[in-house]
Structure 1
Amino acid sequence: MQNDPTPPRATRRGSTVRRRIERVAVSPEGALRRSRDDALTTEEPLEIRVLGTDGVAHRVAVTMRTPGADFELAAGFLYGEGLIDGPDAVRAIRYCTEAEQLYNVVNVALAPGVPFDSSSLARNFYTTSSCGVCGKASIEAVMGPACARVAGGVTVDAETLVGLPARLREAQAVFERTGGLHAAAQFTPEGELVRVREDVGRHNAMDKLVGAALLAGELPLAEHVVLVSGRTSFELVQKAARAGAAVLAGVSAPSSLAVELAEQAGMTLAGFVREPGFNIYTGGERIASRVREKVGG
């Protein structure tokens, strides 16, 4: 697969922008206002297009995202939605230099012989930073492509798992400057960080992570732990299951449908992962502990 070099005629937006703000500090003596510079997370639209072997560009989705890892985001999104089956399906990913919104339009060129069914676009993809993919045409479309059930997979110590959020925060460079980003991270069973991706949208962060693993030829993720920085929604479980992740953990709560899907997929799903513990919703056999389990309330 080839990625075109950065076009020279435009300036790429960074992951943060600076803005002058007023900081208000409230005390018993009153409110003190000070002017200062602040870092804000950049949010811009990204249009994902697929170039079929017929040379026609098909608009697949528009997502509000934080610029950076755009090619990984496009690849991860297409893979998660079942529109491509692996890295060999992609011939090249490049920015559309003819678009008015340069760096906000990505073309994914399919490899020769890779079929693309444009009728599948009837699912009417439109993604936002807050809720992921919206406006799909049917319940069947929302459920997405079928995922193979995870068999086996990694085992992780409880003591290792509970320490992962702290390691994730240490690696979130943009979050430290803005406080406005979600993250998805890939860890070894021993707690070593493999990669982390950040975005204003939690689904985009997962797509970037899966896209990076896809393009590196590292799927499935059955031998790694995937951690997300917020609540675990159905779509995050779906994307993780599609990537073959055996263990998915979140620092906040999962939804009921997320738990049901994780159970169906044979995944281990943990929530509220933060010191000093966490909840196991499915697949507890992959969580090892050196202490005696307490049964009941």
Structure 2
Amino acid sequence: MVRSPVLSTSIFKVNVAGIQKVDDMLAAEEPLEIRISYSAFAKKIQKSISVTMRTPGNDFELATGFLLTEGIIKNAADIIGIKHCNGLHENVVRVEIKDDLQLDLSKLERNFYTTSSCGVCGKSSIEAVRTVCRLPVEKNDNFQFPSEIIYSLPLTLRTQQEIFKNTGGLHACALFDTFGNLLLTKEDVGRHNALDKLIGAALIDNTLPLNKSLLLLSGRASFELIQKAWMAGIKIVAAVGAPSSLAVQMAEEFGMTLIGFLRDQAFNIYTGSHRIKISL
């Protein structure tokens, strides 16, 4: 039985009218350890490669998306099998990698540039990402998103955030087509986990690259999220919040369209304005 993504609790609600004890819901947060199993020197090796705090659920998609966006695998065929260790109750997922895959585990040693406080310059960070990422998307393409469709996307996403409705404590991301149809959405306490879950689900469904979809982020656009989007072939990223300077720099260099502050029938275009069709 898979753990619930929400937990019930009792709280005291305080306002000018007084104090009242009521039932409330919390977004669950638990650690997930991702392990890989592979062959080396004629023997089977199991290695723990990540521990992340996540909302329980979609663990296989999270692990698959993480391996893709970290450059460990290239497609779903690189995975032989994936399962929870010691039953469904355990917060450990083991991914078995096919034997002939040339693993470069040094690609996982990227923590020096993934945090906003690392102090590494933008150029060095982007050059590090080049070692694990796919080739840049084509800048000169005819793919466009109408502005009137983009205005409507945050509300569409919010109405689909089932766990957020109950807890108010989750990040979300979603894919949309040019008609504003919601293709896929994922939630998690971690914004990076939510995107890994979404990309992992797309990889498992064999719908990569996502080069005809818009990715909407419920919060800000960080460098890591732009990198993960690029690995999935996404050309347009829109965020309800602000982008970081390094996110803008990376989107510009890699030929992506980056939108920020998408709210109240308005947004800012930071890079790749040629993919946005403005309707007046």
Give, in whole Å, the separation in 1 of the partners of 2:106 and 2:263: 44
Q: Compare the two structures and name the one with the higher helix fraction.
A: 2
Q: Provide Cα deviations, 1:187-231, integer angstroms capped at 9, x if missing partner.
A: 111100001000001011111111111111111111011000000
In angstroms, what is the RMSD of aligned CA positions?
Answer: 2.5
**2:2 corresponds to which of 12, 17, 24:** 12
Query: Partner of 2:15 in structure 1?
Result: 25
**1:34 corresponds to which of 16, 20, 29:** 20
Give, in whole Å, the separation in 2 of the partners of 1:142 and 1:39: 38
**TM-superposed deviation, 1:290:** 2.5
Query: Partner of 2:32 in structure 1?
Result: 46
SS in structure 2 of the partner of residue 162 of structure 1: helix
Give, in whole Å, the separation in 2 of the partners of 1:252 and 1:72: 25
Give, in whole Å, the separation in 2 of the partners of 1:66 and 1:33: 30
Give, in whole Å, the separation in 2 of the partners of 1:203 and 1:146: 16
Q: Provide Cα deviations, 1:65-114, integer angstroms capped at 9, x if missing partner.
A: 0001110000111100101111110111100117xx94310001112312
Give, in whole Å, the separation in 2 of the partners of 1:242 and 1:168: 23
Query: Partner of 2:132 in structure 1?
Result: 145
**What is the letter of the counterpart of residue 84 of structure 1?**
I
Query: Partner of 1:295 in structure 2?
Result: none
Query: Partner of 1:112 in structure 2?
Result: 99
Give, in whole Å, the separation in 1 of the partners of 2:21 and 2:245: 44
Give, in whole Å, the separation in 2 of the partners of 1:181 and 1:118: 30
- Alignment map for 1:152-163 (pairs within 5 Å): 152=141, 154-163=143-152
Q: 1:121 to 1:203 in 2, by over 3 A?
A: closer
Give, in whole Å, the separation in 1 of the partners of 2:49 and 2:197: 16
Tell me the number of residue pairs that the alignment of Structure 1 and Structure 2 aligns: 270
**What is the letter of the counterpart of residue 215 of structure 1?**
I
**What is the letter of the counterpart of residue 7 of structure 2?**
V
Query: Partner of 1:66 in structure 2?
Result: 55
- Is 1:58–1:118's contact at 8 Å kept on the other side of the alignment? no
**1:211 corresponds to which of 200, 219, 223:** 200
Q: 1:45 to 1:52 in 2, by over 3 A?
A: same
SS in structure 2 of the partner of residue 206 of structure 1: helix
Give, in whole Å, the separation in 2 of the partners of 1:123 and 1:255: 19
- Is 1:12–1:103's contact at 8 Å kept on the other side of the alignment? no
- Is 1:81–1:144's contact at 8 Å kept on the other side of the alignment? no
Give, in whole Å, the separation in 2 of the partners of 1:64 and 1:200: 8
Query: Partner of 1:248 in structure 2?
Result: 237
| TM-score w.r.t. length of structure 1 | 0.84
Give, in whole Å, the separation in 2 of the partners of 1:26 and 1:47: 45
Give, in whole Å, the separation in 2 of the partners of 1:191 and 1:180: 25
**TM-superposed deviation, 1:26:** 1.9
Structure 1 spans left out of the alignment, 5+ residues = 1-10, 292-297
**TM-superposed deviation, 1:117:** 3.2
Structure 2 spans left out of the alignment, 5+ residues = none
Query: Partner of 2:210 in structure 1?
Result: 221
Q: 1:97 to 1:72 in 2, by over 3 A?
A: same
**TM-superposed deviation, 1:120:** 4.4
